[in-house]
Structure 1
Amino acid sequence: MNASIPKTDYEGNRPIMTEKEHYRILVVDDHPLFRRGVRELLSLDPGIEVVGEAGTREEAVELARKLEPDLTVLDLNMKGTSGVEILTLLKEEDPSRRVVILTVSDSGEDLTACIRAGADGYFLKDMEPERFLEAVRRTLEGQLIVAPSMVVYLTEMVRDVKSDPIVQLTEREKDVLKLVALGYTNKDIARTLEIADGTVKGHVKHLLKKLGFKSRVEAAVWASGQKL
């Protein structure tokens, strides 16, 4: 793993900020047999419940709205749509939604597209079951999880960003960015800084615009290699 991007693989140790006893997950994949396999695997964790399955874009968006899962596990390549399209729709409606991509693609372009669309993780389907469960749990606890073989692409994704934009951020925006880089949710940030959730959303929106990023995950990856 590249040293400039710490705590972003299956062995990540990013601080856990909010830990629940029970998590609800939505599985989105156009192959029923694969969805069943993921459901059965996740059921091995007593703290996780698969509350819904979707095989199309419409079903995914509808169930995400209705069920409000803690995490959506989303396939990248689906008939008639793409995981990036679904991811974008889900994040545009509610940026706080946690979504991880589960795919066979080890393409750097696919990883970059997903991270820029707001993915909270990028898992490869050839990972060991135990690793998958661990990665899901760590994502639920606020970590950015990416397959070790893909971490190099994260470095490439942000290496062209200049280091000077950080001076354009206000002190409060820097505080928020530090916590974003640690995997804090908006609620965690609000509680830590003793400000309103809406204020946090505003700060995140402004700092992303200033830094030229489309997602908080991009900002988190970049910020992890900066001295804020």
Structure 2
Amino acid sequence: MSTPDVVVTVYDDDPLSRAGVIALLERRRDTVVLLDPDADGDRRNGNVGLVVIDLLDEFALARLRKLVIDTDRRLVLVTGELDEAQVQLVIDAGVQSVIWRHQVTAERLAKAVETASRGEGHIPGDLLVKVLAQLRRIRRDGAEKSAETGGPTRRELAVLELIADGLDTKEIAEQLSYSERTVKGVLHELTTRLRLRNRAHAVAFAVREGYI
């Protein structure tokens, strides 16, 4: 008999809900073995924690963080809903993957815990769209703040990011569809305005100030 690939512990305060989740996971005994949440736990393959929470509040977030710290488990969260801010909070708390409760199936649960056991993650497509929109807003707001405070402009940041990646003037020009003269002009304007000595100083400044 082969050893299961994933060791998972289910955390759910609702006994009926927990029984349903366990029943679904037990269909995949070939890859998943269940542990009692009160047991010390078997550390094989990262030992995944599957947490079912209907409403994400401060108490629930504290519980997620405590599980990560106390058990060192990689967490999969089954929940009803999350907004963009909440998904960032659960990721910061240590959650690897998120599954919508209304989309739970034996296959999705097994895939999520197997993915988490490898140190990888997954979030639903509709939630991913919200997260990407949030990241775009953060980037846009950062660029606007940069312009307001006299920091690098969007075009200057684009050039600095490529310099940080090791590209030379010709490569930057090709990447951004600029002429080499334009790239040099952008850098000259930036270093002169912010009183920076050279490209390396400009990149160091941008990193230190959190622009890139």
Deviation at 1:109, TM superposition (A): 2.9
Change in Cα spacing, 1:143 to 1:87, as seen in structure 2 (3 Å) is same
Specify which structure has the bigger relative contact order, considering alpha-carbon pairs within 8 angstroms and separated by 6 or more residues. Answer: 1
Change in Cα spacing, 1:78 to 1:27, as seen in structure 2 (3 Å) is farther
> 1:76 pairs with 48, 53, 66, which one?
53
Amino acid in structure 1 at the alignment position of 2:119:
G
Aligned length: 143
Share of identical aligned residues, percent?
19
Secondary structure at 1:43's aligned position in 2? helix
> 1:114 pairs with 90, 101, 107, which one?
90
Change in Cα spacing, 1:211 to 1:22, as seen in structure 2 (3 Å) is farther
The runs of at least 4 aligned residues of structure 1 exceeding 6 Å deviation read 78-81, 162-168
Deviation at 1:136, TM superposition (A): 2.4
Q: Deviations over 1:40-97 (max 9, x none)?
A: 11111122111014xxxxx6xxx5xx21551001123479973311111233446x53
- Alignment of structure 1 residues 4-153 onto 2, 5 Å: 21-45=4-28, 46-53=30-37, 63=39, 66-68=40-42, 70-77=47-54, 82-93=59-70, 97-129=73-105, 130-153=107-130
Deviation at 1:157, TM superposition (A): 4.5
Q: Deviations over 1:104-155 (max 9, x none)?
A: 1143332221012221011111114122322222222332111111102332
2:132 corresponds to which residue? 155
Root-mean-square deviation (Å) = 3.7
CA distance in 2, matches of 1:211, 1:34: 48
Listed as ranges, the gaps of 5+ residues in structure 1 are 1-19, 54-58, 169-209, 213-225
Listed as ranges, the gaps of 5+ residues in structure 2 are 143-156, 165-207
What TM-score do you get using the length of structure 1 for normalisation?
0.51
Amino acid in structure 2 at the alignment position of 1:118:
G
Q: Deviations over 1:150-201 (max 9, x none)?
A: 1023324544267879999xxxxxxxxxxxxxxxxxxxxxxxxxxxxxxxxx
Structure of larger gyration radius: 2
Indicate conservation of the 8 Å contact 2:6/2:113, yes or no: no
CA distance in 2, matches of 1:165, 1:71: 37
- Which has a greater percent of helix? 2
Deviation at 1:98, TM superposition (A): 0.4
What TM-score do you get using the length of structure 2 for normalisation?
0.54
CA distance in 2, matches of 1:90, 1:136: 16
2:198 corresponds to which residue? none
CA distance in 2, matches of 1:79, 1:110: 8
CA distance in 1, matches of 2:123, 2:8: 19
CA distance in 2, matches of 1:97, 1:211: 35
Change in Cα spacing, 1:155 to 1:78, as seen in structure 2 (3 Å) is closer
CA distance in 1, matches of 2:8, 2:85: 27
Secondary structure at 1:100's aligned position in 2? strand
